[in-house]
Structures are given as structure tokens and as C-alpha cells.
Chains A and B, each alone.
Chain A
Amino acid sequence: MTARAAFLSALVVASLASCDGREAAPPGTADATGVSSAAAPEPSGGWFTDVTEPSGVDFVHVAGFTAERHLPETMGGGGALFDVENDGDLDLYLVQSGPLPIPETAPRPQDAPPNRLFLGDGRGRFEDATARSGAAAHTGYGQGVAVGDVDGDGLQDLYVTNFGPDALLRNAGDARFVDATREAGLGDPRWTVGATFFDADLDGDLDLYVTGYVAIDVLHPEWCGDRRDGWRSYCHPDRYPGLPDVFYLNDGRGHFEIANEKSGLADTAGKGLGALPVDYDQDGDLDLYVANDSVENRLWRNRGDATFEDATLESGTGVDVDGMTEAGMGLACGDVDGDLDVDLFVTNYDGESNTLYLGGKDGSFTDGTVRAGMEAASRLPVGFGTVMCDFDLDGDLDVAVANGHIIHNIQLYEDGKTWAQPPALFVNRGDGRFDLAQDELGALGARDEVGRALLAGDLDGDGDEDLVLVTCGGRARVLRNDAGDGRAALVVRDVPPHAAVRVLFDDGGERLLVAGPQPSYAGSSAPDVITGLLDRRVTSVRVVGDPRDLPPGSEFRSERRRTSRDPLGRAAVSRRGAPSRTSARVAGSDFPAARGRVRAARCVQSALRRSSRTTCCPTPETRSA
């Protein structure tokens, strides 16, 4: 068995969250978090309800805007949804910026606002754990964050990208982090935004890819825009040289070495904002798609040993259908048209559209934006974070996009454009063609925002994916998804990061799903795979690259590669050869009934719905289990 195959052994839970019969407290109920019932949201009438207040997430991004309009000010903020404590529910990490560090004249202040950690209770409420999170309260000028277990200790670590030195924050357990940047050989001092962990060489540990953006001179800022008062603008990235990306190989002990040359990742084009590991050719290894701003995107095909070949030209993923470069920013992937191929979605600048690349059987892609009905609606906004989710649990992937312009005074230059813009939701008709949502938006479209990261995950344990919208210079918003109420979901948890998962149904149908964490923009969405079941029964779940099927009802165990600790508390990952074999980790108290089994259930009300309780109607799968 290869190391990857061992790593691929996964826990699959087919369940609807909160279907354990336990009453789900509505968010407005006063409890230890101090959230009062008065803060309970009113139903929005659409899919999404703003539950920011009752959620307890009170993060406000501080961009550090200056009169000189330094470009980093307008590129944050980022965030991540992940399970800090392995207690089965999602926690939230939000990346702060603050005053822009300028050498000599304005160094980074000691009291710069920190990144913040919010611990979720699995029911949509969060507790601010920043003060006791140790190094997670990082105070660099933040841009984005990647999540992964770099040292194989079973705990998710963080890599924070900054305008300035990046940081690796090792999860020490109990929601405490320690700064492990130096011993890991990391700490890129340049301006970086996108980052992702993935096992490039199939050796069972997570490697790291970090996108360099552009080189700016904060000591001598260029004046862009009109000279009149109020007209100075942020300069276009075309004004700056691009910075190359960096690929680090993990030595298995949590130490990283730059491996661009030997991995073939030499010409990375520069101006990268997003990196998405994806097994687009479904050969069992993770390839890499990189979004670059105003220069060609890159698709790197993994030969299976962490050496890559540039597949951009042959795949057709570097430019749009007209051969034009776009301002690639946010990334998402999934099978939107049900043809069992991975499709890619990239958000772009105004005057462009977001671009949907439809995967084909031969590893090539076609620009399907027009055919999908996504062209016109995305030409005016500037797209940033994006997620593909089956929000309404109807079995297909919808697409949400956080929009917001780079230029704060764009309306002075083109009066049809604005800095703050409404997010967009594209509802899949079931065949990969989309309708731009109006009624479905609910609170998601209630206000214009300077959207940046958009994170998806089931925050309240009701089996559908909720959203966290991170804005530049504004408050992060938590949006509860009610669209899946009453529908059954398959929830696949603890699959290897970024894995492609094939699901077979009793009617002979098959579905391709892609696990997270997906990067959106400057972020990391939840790793779980969630898809609507409708009236189908799952007969098999298989991770591509792992020969074993995971039939419903079968007990199985996940195999983890771990761990001994050195005196410094660093985990040493067991290398090739006998991986340690542990019990399947079941994610938290919301899923006890589903431990180690494939199950499904029907839930008729959302866990966060006011004055209601969660009740679950067993489906045949549940009864048989």
C-alpha cells in the first residue's frame, strides 16, 4: 500500500447533521456565550439568513487604509473554517491586517490587531478564543491562510500569508498554537496571498504551495489616478513586477524545503492569488491550479512524484475562451454538470467574466462560462472568494461569489461601478447551467460588501453548508443556509485533503465530489464533502486513488500516519511502512450516531431555526444501519 493509499483511508459519514435527536438550541437563546434571544435573526425569505450577531463572530477587518493607497490595503481579508480541536464542529479563523508596515517611517506597531480564532459549538455559535490561542493571535499584516496537519499529529495547523513574513502556526492542542515558522524553514518575507497544503509526492505528509503576488515599494508609492483630492487610487498590478510562487516539500517532520526547481515549478508566471490542489485527471495524485492576476493562470499536472509539467496550454485553463488573460483571484472546483469530470471556476476582474472551465475526459477543459449562463452576470462585478456547494441539497453544485472592487473610488472613474458590491449566487439547474439567484439570495444579497474570502462549511450541524463572508475593511458576516431544510444529505468527512470522491447510488447513478479545503480567495473552506441525496440511496463511496469501496453500513477504520513527539513537542510523522492504525475519528458530538458508518437521515428543520427543534426522519439507510 502506498503512503497515499494509507492516508486515503477515510471516514465517510452519510448523515444529516444534528440528527442525533438532540434538541438544537436556537442561536438567540441566552447561554454561556452571552448571546441574547433578542439577537435572533428574522428569517430572510431566501436561502440565507444573516446570523452574524447571534453567532458571536464580531470580527471587523482593519485594512489600514492610507492616503498613499498601498495595494495590500485592498487585498485582504482571508479566513479559514476548520476543526481546531477535533471535536467535530467547525471553528473559524479570521486573518487581520491593521496598519500597513512601512520600514523606518511606520513599522508594524506592537499593538497591531491580531488574527482571531473563534471556536464553534457545532450549532452555529462561536466563542472568541483568540486570547488563549497563543500564536494564532498573529499580528502580521495578514492576507490569507491555509490549513493542514503539517506534522502529522492529527491537529490542523495554519499557514498565514502576509504582506511581510509569513507564519506557520502549529496547533498544539486545546486550541493553542505555537509559532513554528523558523523551525519549519518557512517565513517567506515577500507579499504572499494564496497558500495551500497538499500531499504532492504521496508520502503521507503535506507539502506547501505559496503564491507570490507583486513587489511594491511602500517607501516610494506610485501615484495612480487623478491628482485631484479624493481621486488617488490603488495602482493596477500591471504597474508592479510579479513575484514567483514557492513550492515547499515537507520532509515528514514538519520541516520544509523549497523545491521549485526539482519539481518543475520554475516558471510560475507571478502575481498569484490562489492555488488549488485538484486531481483533475483523476489519476490519484494532486495536480495544482494557480490563479494569477492579469497574467496567465497555470495548471500543473503532477506526475505522481511531486514533479510537475505545465499543462496550461493543452488543458486550456490559462486564459479565457478568447485567449485573454484575466485577473484570477478566487478558485473553486467540483463537477457542476454531472459528467464525472472536475470543473474549475475562477473569479476575475470587472470587464471580464468569472470563468468556468468544464473538464473533459482527456484532461482538457473548455471555457463553458457562456453556456453555463454565468457570463453576463459576472462582467460588471469584481469577483473574489468563491465556493461551489450544494446549498439546497438537490444533488448539484451551486456557486456563490463574494464581490467587491479593488479600487475604493472606482465610481469616480466609471460611475456604473462601485467599491462595495453584492455577492452573487448562481443556482444550478441540474445540468451545469445556472440561474443568477434573486429570491434565493436572502440575506446574502441584502447589502453590498467589499467581499474577499468566502468560506463554506456546515456551521450549525444541519447538514447543509453555511457561509462566512470576509470583507475588506468591514465586518465578517455569518450566513446560515436554510435551503437544504427537509432534504437528506450525504456528508463525507475526514477524507484526505482535496481528494476526489466517487459516490454510487442504488439507481446506478454516480456522482463525483471534491473534498476541501478549497481556497476560495485567501482562505480555506471546510474540508467536508456535502451533497444532497434526494431519494437515492448510497451504495458505495470511494476516494479516487484508493481501491477500496466503502459500502454503506460497513465498519471501517481510518489509518493515520503518526506520531511520536520530540522534546520540543514536534510531531514526527511515521514514514513509509507501517502506519499507525487508530480508530476512525468521528467528528464530534453532532455525529455520534454515524460513527464509522455510512448513514443518511432526513432532517425537517434547521438547527438554527428559531423556536424549533431539530427532528430527523430516518431514511431507509438509517433504519437499516
Chain B
Amino acid sequence: MRRTSPAVASAPPLTRLLVLLVVLPVAVASGAGVGAAQEGPPAQDEGTATIDAGLRAARARFERGERREAIADLEVLLAREPARLDVRAQLVRYDFAVHRYEAALEAADGLGPEFDPLRGEALYLLTRYEEALALLDPAVPEHAVLRVDALEALGRLEEAARELERAFAVVGPDDVRLLGIRGRALARAGEHAEAIAVFGRALEVDPLDLRSLYGLGRSLLAVGEREDGLAVLERHRALVPLVDQLDFARKSLDLEPLHAPNHAAVGDALRALGRTADARAEYEAATRLAQDDEVVPIALRLARLLHEDERDTDAALGVLAEAFERVNDVRLLVRAGDVCLREDRRAEAAAWFRRALQLAPGEPAVEQRLREAEGGS
């Protein structure tokens, strides 16, 4: 049983670039550049058929979550048939998805310019910004954002400013990332009044955007609005650990997307931020993916959200009952009883506690609950 995800070990505490939070490689997501090569040559002989079968098998493994195994399979295939561009293209995409950016670049060797967007993203993620800028397409929205960030990171601020305006034209005027960058540039230039307006607009779009919230607080201080500035900064300070938690959980999920606890961790972070609907979706995904030994904590969290946030007691009880059918764990019964007790459905609560005592006879905490339920019924 896995207790933590690989990302726990490898992820930075927070991805500092908002672009990275959002981007996860556009070229990979879209399959950009694979195009016709993905189809492969028509099967002409037994060897080709074997490669085709291997490619399909690798895809299946990857989709099952055996991502590194799938990559190893593709590498074997490619060693046998270096000319198979569809295999190479798939390998590039898979390497990229597991953060093997250098391997992706190497695997892309020999592929055509249709892979340049992906090369650009890999180079960006390797912080080889000068090279990345030559390949990132300013007409692609996500690339436009990356280009602005790369230019800023390189200290080429005038170019970054021009690129920012182009990016707005491509991405749209209400993109929170770009608004945040614009506000930051204005503040850097001492134009705090203008920065305040831009940060404010960004926060209308996304009230949880930390960059804009922090920038707003700093700029308010700079123009002498001390109390307001500090209030904003205090709010930012309170939100930071929650957003950090979400970021960390998302990176874990990115590295192991089929690991149920990773979904649940994202759900926890979203719930802490008040994004209940998104949190519920993650808990439900976790429920679908959960191994038996992962079921209980996930069901308990989903039930809590349904009960406490969505005020849907029956749905919460349904989740607990379903989980109990699967793993027969007494904690689910106790939680169901607690839910009923809090809703003053004492008879139901007593029934749940009695079932729990059948599994854990004499358990003092449960007996106490049962007395409470019966005493009021």
C-alpha cells in the first residue's frame, strides 16, 4: 500500500510560476505535433505488426497508470525500429508527462518542426529560456504566457512588456496570470495606482489569486493606504498555506494521477479553500480509484463534505453505507451514526451505533454514543 505519492518526495513546496499550475504542457495535452506520424506506417509485415501491437500495449499500460513501464516498453520498441516516428512521438509525449524533459528532447530528435511547441515547453521547464523562446509560439495562448515569464526571468523587461501586450491579445484581457504580471510590472515601475486597478481586476476574476492579492496589498501600502494594505496582506497570509497545500497536492496528483489518496488530498485542499464542488469531484474520483485499504478515509471525507458543506445528509449516509458494504469497517458505521445524531435523527443514529457494536462489542466510545442517541429518542 502506498502511503504517499512520489510527489511528496520530489515536488517543490510550491510551483512558483502560475503558468505551470495551469499549463501542464499544452503540447502533451493536445498531442500536438504527433499528427500523421502517430498513425504509423501501414502494417506491411510481421515486424511492423509486432511494433504496432507493442505500441498499443504501451498505450494501455500508460493509461493504467504504469507510466514508466510504458516508457520502458516504448524505448525497447524504438531500439528495434528507430525509424518508427509514431513510436518516437509517443515516447516523447510520455517522457514529458512524467517530467523527463531531457529525455523528451532526446526522443524528439529526428521528429519534425511539428514538435517544436513541445520542445519549447521542455526547454522552458528546464529553465533554458533563451532556447525556449525560439520555439514557443506566441500565437498559442499558453505559450504566450510562458514567453512573458521567460523574458522576465531573463531580465529582459522591455521585451517582456511588449510580449505581455501581445499575450493579452492572444489569451484575452481577463487572464488572471497576465493581469498579475501586468500589475507586478506596474508596481515595479512605481505606478502603484495603476497596479491597484489591475490587481483588483484580477481578483474579480479569481479572488484566490495570490499574486494579485499580494500585489494589491503591497501597492496599497506603497500609496499610503496602510490599513487597507495590511488587511489585504493578512488575508493573503491566511490563504497562502491553503494554496500551498493545493499546489502540493496537485503536483502529487500530476505525478501519479491514478492514486486515490492523491485525489483526496486535492479534495482536502480545495475544500479548505471553500471550493466545495471541486472538492467533491476530487473525492468522488478518489472513491472510484480507491483500493480497499484506501476506502475508509476517502469515504469519511466525502461524507463530511456532503453533510457539513452541502447539507445533504442522505447523500452523506449513502456514501458511508456504500463504503461499508465494500470494506466492512466500523468507523463508517460510527460516522453514519454521528451524522444522524447531529441531525437529531436519533433512532437512525442508534441503529448505526448498534451495528457498530456488533463489529466492535463493548467499545466504550460507541456505547456512549448509543446511550446519547437512545436517551434522546
By beta carbon, the residue of chain B nearest A364 is B221
In this complex, how many residues of chain B approach chain A with their Cβ under 8 Å: the count is 53
Which residues does chain A contribute within 8 Å of B218, judged by CB atoms? 316
* Cross-chain contact B15 with A375 (CB below 8 angstroms): no
* Cross-chain contact B214 with A323 (CB below 8 angstroms): yes
* Cross-chain contact B13 with A376 (CB below 8 angstroms): no
* Cross-chain contact B6 with A226 (CB below 8 angstroms): yes
In this complex, how many residues of chain A approach chain B with their Cβ under 8 Å: the count is 54
CB < 8 Å: which of A227, A322, A349 contacts B13? A349
* Cross-chain contact B129 with A376 (CB below 8 angstroms): yes
A471 located at the interface, meaning its Cβ lies under 8 Å from any Cβ of chain B in the complex: no
**CA distance in complex: A174, B213 (Å):** 57
* Cross-chain contact A320 with B16 (CB below 8 angstroms): yes
* Cross-chain contact B240 with A319 (CB below 8 angstroms): yes
Which residues does chain B contribute within 8 Å of A226, judged by CB atoms? 6
CB < 8 Å: which of B8, B103, B153, B237 contacts A313? B237
* Cross-chain contact B9 with A407 (CB below 8 angstroms): yes
- Residues facing B in A365-421 (CB within 8 A) are 366, 370-373, 375-376, 379-380, 407, 410, 413-416
User: In the complex, what's the smallest C-beta–C-beta distance from A454 to chain B, in angstroms?
Assistant: 21
* Cross-chain contact B155 with A352 (CB below 8 angstroms): no
Contacts A222-B3, A225-B10; A416 near B125 (Cβ below 8 A): yes
Question: Could you count the A-B residue pairs with CB atoms below 8 Å apart for me: how many are there?
Answer: 155
**CA distance in complex: A371, B154 (Å):** 9
Contacts A236-B8, A371-B155; A325 near B255 (Cβ below 8 A): no
A351 located at the interface, meaning its Cβ lies under 8 Å from any Cβ of chain B in the complex: yes
Cβ proximity bits A352-369 to B, threshold 8 Å, 1 near / 0 not: 110000000000101000
CB < 8 Å: which of B12, B102, B153, B155 contacts A351? B12
User: In the complex, what's the smallest C-beta–C-beta distance from B131 to chain A, in angstroms?
Assistant: 12
Further 12 A-B residue pairs, CB within 8 A, beyond A235-B4, A373-B155: A222-B4, A224-B9, A235-B9, A319-B240, A323-B210, A325-B14, A326-B13, A326-B16, A352-B14, A372-B155, A376-B127, A376-B129
CB < 8 Å: which of A223, A293, A352 contacts B3? A223
* Cross-chain contact A325 with B244 (CB below 8 angstroms): yes
B59 located at the interface, meaning its Cβ lies under 8 Å from any Cβ of chain A in the complex: no
* Cross-chain contact A415 with B9 (CB below 8 angstroms): no
**CA distance in complex: A239, B154 (Å):** 33
Which residues does chain B contribute within 8 Å of A370, judged by CB atoms? 152-153, 155, 157, 188
Which residues does chain A contribute within 8 Å of B101, judged by CB atoms? 414-416
Cβ proximity bits B235-260 to A, threshold 8 Å, 1 near / 0 not: 01100110011001000000100000
* Cross-chain contact A380 with B127 (CB below 8 angstroms): yes
CB < 8 Å: which of B155, B184, B214, B241 contacts A376? B155
* Cross-chain contact A379 with B127 (CB below 8 angstroms): yes
By beta carbon, the residue of chain B nearest A352 is B16
B371 located at the interface, meaning its Cβ lies under 8 Å from any Cβ of chain A in the complex: no
B-side residues, CB < 8 A to A, are 2-4, 6, 8-18, 20, 99-103, 125-127, 129, 150, 152-155, 157, 180, 184, 188, 210-211, 213-215, 217-218, 221, 230, 233-234, 236-237, 240-241, 244-245, 248, 255
Which residues does chain A contribute within 8 Å of B17, judged by CB atoms? 351
**CA distance in complex: A414, B125 (Å):** 10
The 16 sampled A-B contact pairs (Cβ below 8 Å) are A222-B3, A231-B6, A238-B244, A239-B4, A296-B237, A324-B16, A325-B14, A325-B241, A352-B14, A353-B16, A373-B155, A376-B127, A376-B129, A407-B9, A413-B6, A433-B155
* Cross-chain contact B102 with A415 (CB below 8 angstroms): yes
User: In the complex, what's the smallest C-beta–C-beta distance from B258 to chain A, in angstroms?
Assistant: 13
* Cross-chain contact B13 with A325 (CB below 8 angstroms): yes
Which residues does chain B contribute within 8 Å of A325, judged by CB atoms? 13-14, 240-241, 244
Which residues does chain A contribute within 8 Å of B248, judged by CB atoms? 236, 238
- Residues facing B in A576-621 (CB within 8 A) are none
Which residues does chain A contribute within 8 Å of B150, judged by CB atoms? 376
* Cross-chain contact B230 with A313 (CB below 8 angstroms): yes
- Residues facing B in A306-354 (CB within 8 A) are 313-314, 316, 318-327, 349-353
* Cross-chain contact A323 with B10 (CB below 8 angstroms): no
- Top 8 A-B pairs ranked by shortest CB distance? A323-B214, A233-B9, A294-B13, A413-B10, A351-B12, A225-B9, A376-B153, A224-B9
A237 located at the interface, meaning its Cβ lies under 8 Å from any Cβ of chain B in the complex: yes
**CA distance in complex: A374, B125 (Å):** 17
**CA distance in complex: A144, B20 (Å):** 35
Contacts A237-B13, A322-B214; A314 near B153 (Cβ below 8 A): no
CB < 8 Å: which of B2, B99, B155 contacts A415? B99
User: In the complex, what's the smallest C-beta–C-beta distance from A117 to chain B, in angstroms?
Assistant: 36
Contacts A227-B2, A415-B103; A294 near B125 (Cβ below 8 A): no
* Cross-chain contact A322 with B184 (CB below 8 angstroms): yes
User: In the complex, what's the smallest C-beta–C-beta distance from A567 to chain B, in angstroms?
Assistant: 51
A7 located at the interface, meaning its Cβ lies under 8 Å from any Cβ of chain B in the complex: no
Cβ proximity bits A440-480 to B, threshold 8 Å, 1 near / 0 not: 00000000000000000000000000000000000000000
A80 located at the interface, meaning its Cβ lies under 8 Å from any Cβ of chain B in the complex: no
Which residues does chain A contribute within 8 Å of B99, judged by CB atoms? 413-416
**CA distance in complex: A413, B4 (Å):** 15
User: In the complex, what's the smallest C-beta–C-beta distance from A364 to chain B, in angstroms?
Assistant: 7
User: In the complex, what's the smallest C-beta–C-beta distance from B7 to chain A, in angstroms?
Assistant: 8
* Cross-chain contact A413 with B9 (CB below 8 angstroms): yes
**CA distance in complex: A322, B255 (Å):** 25
Which residues does chain B contribute within 8 Å of A364, judged by CB atoms? 221
User: In the complex, what's the smallest C-beta–C-beta distance from A65 to chain B, in angstroms?
Assistant: 15
Cβ proximity bits A106-124 to B, threshold 8 Å, 1 near / 0 not: 0000000000000000000
A163 located at the interface, meaning its Cβ lies under 8 Å from any Cβ of chain B in the complex: no
* Cross-chain contact A327 with B12 (CB below 8 angstroms): yes
* Cross-chain contact B9 with A234 (CB below 8 angstroms): yes
By beta carbon, the residue of chain A nearest B8 is A224
By beta carbon, the residue of chain A nearest B218 is A316
Contacts A323-B210, A325-B244, A364-B221; A351 near B16 (Cβ below 8 A): yes
* Cross-chain contact B15 with A379 (CB below 8 angstroms): no
**CA distance in complex: A364, B233 (Å):** 14
Among B127, B129, B154, B240: residue with most chain A CB under 10 A: B127
Which residues does chain A contribute within 8 Å of B127, judged by CB atoms? 376, 379-380
**CA distance in complex: A364, B226 (Å):** 13
CB < 8 Å: which of A324, A326, A410 contacts B210? A324
Which residues does chain B contribute within 8 Å of A353, judged by CB atoms? 16, 153
User: In the complex, what's the smallest C-beta–C-beta distance from A328 to chain B, in angstroms?
Assistant: 10
* Cross-chain contact B125 with A375 (CB below 8 angstroms): no
- Residues facing B in A82-98 (CB within 8 A) are none
CB < 8 Å: which of B2, B8, B152, B188 contacts A235? B8
Cβ proximity bits A210-235 to B, threshold 8 Å, 1 near / 0 not: 00000000000011111100011111
By beta carbon, the residue of chain A nearest B102 is A415
A51 located at the interface, meaning its Cβ lies under 8 Å from any Cβ of chain B in the complex: no
Which residues does chain A contribute within 8 Å of B9, judged by CB atoms? 224-225, 232-236, 407, 413
User: In the complex, what's the smallest C-beta–C-beta distance from B212 to chain A, in angstroms?
Assistant: 8
**CA distance in complex: A314, B233 (Å):** 9
Which residues does chain A contribute within 8 Å of B103, judged by CB atoms? 415
